[in-house]
Structure 1
Amino acid sequence: MAPDMGMAGTTVETVRGLVYGPGGKRLDVHRPAGASGATPTVLLWHGIGPDERDVLEPLARATAAHGALVLVPDWRSDAPDGGRSHLLESLAFAREEAGGLGADGESLVLAGWSAGAGAALGVALRPEIADEWRPSAVVGLAGRYDLPARTTGTPPLDDLTAGRDPGVPVHLVHGTRDAVVDARYSRDLTEALRTPGRAVTLQEPETDHAGVIMTAYDPAADRCIPTTGEHAVRAGRMVAGVLATAGA
């Protein structure tokens, strides 16, 4: 367990490497020190890079500093099922175990970055894959929604066109300087969701694909790494606030 002072002035505890399901994959837990009972849960899925839970640690810790328990699992997009079983196993773990880790056991925000964003929205649109369960809210970060979701196999936009409803608030964040996944994909989803009775928000900070999760892409490592770049820190702080309050 690694305690540290979070960005919001709250001491954050991190527990790394908990096995979360039959597949043997691991997740990290980031929570405010002394979390007990009243803490909301955020399950945060990384993007298409296999087993990259560490990439989301800066954002997860910033979110925990706002008072949320954040679970960040590894999953593998190159698995035979595209990562579906890993994602759903991590969801089952969050639903069953968050209470024992210091959360309230009721409020669970499902969030994802890049490929993880569509996977998160897919669960809300097709709750039958989780025994008719829906999260308290969905947060999509720099995602595409016209591609098959890793959880459902169908594009979220197609599900919306077919009349499916997420049934919960959807909060989107997409950097205006994103050269990997253009912000128009989140704008298109926002327009598709904007019907009477639905809650949807879209924020577009001036940052790029990596910056929206408080990181920078390192070509030598071929992965995103923590950064102190002003645009990324500013965007990450905003996203952390969205994640921590989305289920309120």
Structure 2
Amino acid sequence: MATEVVVRQGLTYGPSGKLLDVYQPAGASEPVPAVLLWHGRGPDERDVLAPVARAAAERGVVVLVPDWRPDAPDGGRAHLRESADFVRRNVTGLGGDPERIVLAGWSLGGKAAVGVALNPEAFGGWRPRAAVGIAGAYGTAAPSTGTVPIEDLQNSGSLPAVPVWLVHGTADPAVDVERSRELHTALIGHGRPASLDEVATDHAGVIMTEFVPERQRCLPSTAGHAVEAGARTADVLARAAGTTVPGPTSRR
């Protein structure tokens, strides 16, 4: 049975004045794992991630979804840093465990999250418990670090490894699933804990949404492929936040 979820909307998370929503599993008697979940390229689109954030919270984790602006002069790096600082400082008061914070993101946000996992020194030295990249591409610079995640992997040496979980739709026309396959192969080749879940959906469906052209926005979807894929993504977020270490194989 899914856990009831309490939603707190519009918390200010930093000097920029940006807002953040919190999805909390109700009735938890002790701190639970937390997921900081970054949206994609559209500016200030935290609402787009509401369906998958709620689904993950139903699985027993606190999910925090901030607005940020990739079109800012710094590419949004200050917003991303502020949101991470806020979560690390305040997650206990929101029912989360500060020792079990997962950094996750969708699309450009996925690149940003994995970028931090592979180059934590560019992000203040913070190493989250795990990183989850949802429908991301990892061969160009991440807005969080300014460096290229797959290149950072080559230069990571003996730094402690942050487990990386990847999810990608096999029918994604915006970011080809090969981008996640490439990174997964590279991670395994470097002995890093990593997994890849491939789901039969598109770029929006992987977060339980569909792109609506007249709104120029992803909105919640009840299509079977999106509901199933979004549930898989929520499962990955919850597994990453738990004690499970990702295995070397992909799941299709």
- State the partner residue of 1:115: 108
- State the partner residue of 1:156: 149
Q: Distance in 2 between matches of 1:166 and 1:151?
A: 19
Displacement of 1:10 in angstroms is 1.2
Q: Distance in 2 between matches of 1:24 and 1:35?
A: 29
Displacement of 1:106 in angstroms is 1.3
Report if aligned partners of 1:16, 1:28 keep a CA contact under 8 Å in 2.
Answer: yes
Q: Distance in 1 between matches of 2:220 and 2:200?
A: 18
- State the partner residue of 2:93: 100
Report if aligned partners of 1:138, 1:170 keep a CA contact under 8 Å in 2.
Answer: yes
For 1:201, what is the secondary structure of its paired residue?
A: strand
- State the partner residue of 1:5: none
Q: Distance in 1 between matches of 2:138 and 2:14?
A: 27
Q: Distance in 2 between matches of 1:181 and 1:36?
A: 40
Q: Distance in 2 between matches of 1:185 and 1:45?
A: 19
Runs of 4+ in 1 over 6 A off after TM superposition: none
Q: Distance in 2 between matches of 1:168 and 1:104?
A: 17
Report if aligned partners of 2:118, 2:162 keep a CA contact under 8 Å in 1.
Answer: no
Q: Distance in 1 between matches of 2:69 and 2:51?
A: 20
- Answering whether residue 7 of structure 2 is matched by residue 14 of structure 1, we say yes
Equivalent residue letter for 2:129: S
For 2:125, what is the secondary structure of its paired residue?
A: coil
- State the partner residue of 1:127: 120
Q: Distance in 2 between matches of 1:92 and 1:137?
A: 16
Equivalent residue letter for 1:29: V
Q: Where in structure 2 are there 5+ consecutive unaligned residues?
A: 244-252
Equivalent residue letter for 2:103: L
**Which one of the candidate residues 26, 35, 38 is aligned to 2:28?**
35
Equivalent residue letter for 2:61: A
Q: What is the TM-score with the length of structure 1 in the denominator? A: 0.94
Report if aligned partners of 1:190, 1:200 keep a CA contact under 8 Å in 2.
Answer: yes
Q: Cα deviations across residues 119-177 of structure 1 (Å, max 9, x unaligned)?
A: 00111222223432200001000000011100111110111233456711111010000
The two structures, once aligned, show a CA RMSD in angstroms of 1.3
Instruction: Name the count of aligned residue pairs.
Output: 241
Q: Where in structure 1 are there 5+ consecutive unaligned residues?
A: 1-7
Taking only the aligned residue pairs, the percentage that are identical comes to 58
- State the partner residue of 1:190: 184
Q: Distance in 2 between matches of 1:130 and 1:175?
A: 28
**Which one of the candidate residues 156, 161, 168 is aligned to 1:167?**
161
For 1:55, what is the secondary structure of its paired residue?
A: helix
